[in-house]
């Protein structure tokens, strides 16, 4: 079993789901050394999501031996900045385990200072090569922001912090003539990618140096599929052409200029 951080190891091949579960899981564990660059990391997420979608997850890196191995240190290969929605558990939908993903979740994947600080920690201290903004269809936070914006009635408590963070995405969607809620979600994912790179000079510098990439992924609750809808640098979403469809892709202009 490999430990996280093993240098220069390529992601392993897809396993045949017809193999006995224990053998398949062992093979995945043996081949699942930490991806070393953004493209490898994205490919690993795509592979895990495919296993999840097809109902053949291998649950790598969830055994007692791996738990003990990663107690000495962590080298997650991706930061997931995801919506808090209970149906969007990162380790499940990407079929990963302990030590693989550094996860930060807020309603509507809104990014305040604590979120940006957490991302910067992972990228600069832990050396994580990929940041993923993970949104989803029928997002309640986006719907709530849309309702509050339409009625002009602010929600109670701290909810305006979420609404206010989503409103610029609603404005972008309106300017593009987009009214469908799920297309608005995809625009909001792209706007979140853009906002992170605009607000975090540390993250932008890591991306400009080629040590990191920021990708936006849109998840479908029923199908379980996560597809790329934004990518900085732009070429990264071509890693898996079959799934990283360019249809509806939203490449944030300001963020793309960073790369």
Min CB(250)–Zn ion separation in Å: 17
Cβ-based neighbours of 24, under 8 Å, separated by 6 or more: 15, 16, 17, 58
Q: Are 100 and 78 in contact (CB under 8 A)?
A: yes
| Residue with Cβ nearer Zn ion (70 or 226) | 226
| Residue with Cβ nearer Zn ion (45 or 141) | 141
Among the candidate windows 85-93, 159-167, 194-202, 241-249, which touches Zn ion by CB under 5 A? 85-93
Pairing mode, strands 130-136 and 78-83 = parallel
Residue 182, exposed/middle/buried by CB under 10 A (0-12, 13-18, 19+)?
middle
Q: Is 136 annotated as a binding residue?
A: yes
Among the candidate windows 7-15, 78-86, 144-152, 231-239, which touches Zn ion by CB under 5 A? 78-86
Torsion angles phi and psi, residue 63, rounded to 5: -90, 170
Distance CA 63, CA 174 (A): 48
User: Is the CA virtual torsion 68, 71, 72, 76 positive or negative?
Assistant: positive
By CB under 5 A, name the one of 33, 83, 90, 204 that touches Zn ion: 83
Site string for Zn ion, 129-168 (x = CB under 5 A): ----------x-x---------------------------
Q: Tokens representing 178?
A: 């987009």
Closest CA to 130 of 90, 89, 91, 76: 76
| Residue with Cβ nearer Zn ion (85 or 240) | 85
| Residue with Cβ nearer Zn ion (1 or 161) | 161
Q: Is 180 annotated as a binding residue?
A: no
By CB under 5 A, name the one of 40, 60, 85, 230 that touches Zn ion: 85
Site string for Zn ion, 97-136 (x = CB under 5 A): ----------------------------------------
Min CB(258)–Zn ion separation in Å: 26
Min CB(86)–Zn ion separation in Å: 10
Distance CA 114, CA 161 (A): 13
Distance CA 191, CA 19 (A): 42
Min CB(23)–Zn ion separation in Å: 37
Pairing mode, strands 213-219 and 226-232 = antiparallel
The residue ranges that bind Zn ion (CB under 5 A) are 83, 85, 139, 141
As annotated, the binding site includes 83, 85, 136, 139
């Amino acid at each position: 079993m490999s430990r996280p951080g093993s240098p220069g190891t390529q992601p392993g091949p897809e396993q045949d789901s017809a193999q006995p579960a224990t053998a398949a899981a062992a093979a995945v564990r043996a081949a699942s050394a930490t991806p070393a660059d953004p493209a490898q990391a994205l490919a690993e997420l795509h592979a895990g999501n495919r296993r999840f979608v097809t109902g053949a997850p291998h649950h790598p890196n969830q055994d007692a031996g791996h738990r003990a191995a990663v107690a000495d240190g962590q080298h997650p290969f991706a930061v997931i900045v995801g919506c808090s929605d209970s149906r969007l558990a990162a380790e499940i939908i990407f079929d990963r385990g302990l030590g693989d993903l550094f996860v930060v979740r807020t309603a509507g994947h809104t990014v305040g200072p604590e979120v940006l600080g957490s991302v910067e920690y992972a990228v600069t201290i832990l050396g994580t090569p990929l940041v993923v903004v993970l949104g989803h269809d029928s997002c309640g936070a986006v719907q709530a922001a849309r309702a509050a914006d339409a009625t002009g009635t602010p929600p109670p408590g701290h909810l305006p912090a979420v609404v206010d963070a989503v409103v610029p995405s609603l404005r972008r969607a309106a300017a593009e003539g987009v009214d469908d809620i799920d297309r608005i979600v995809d625009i909001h994912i792209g706007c979140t990618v853009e906002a992170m790179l605009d607000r975090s000079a540390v993250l932008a510098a890591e991306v400009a140096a080629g040590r990191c990439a920021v990708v936006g992924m849109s998840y479908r609750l029923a199908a379980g599929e996560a597809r790329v809808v934004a990518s900085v640098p732009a070429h990264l979403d071509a890693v898996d052409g079959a799934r990283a469809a360019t249809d509806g892709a939203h490449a944030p202009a300001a963020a793309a200029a960073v790369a």
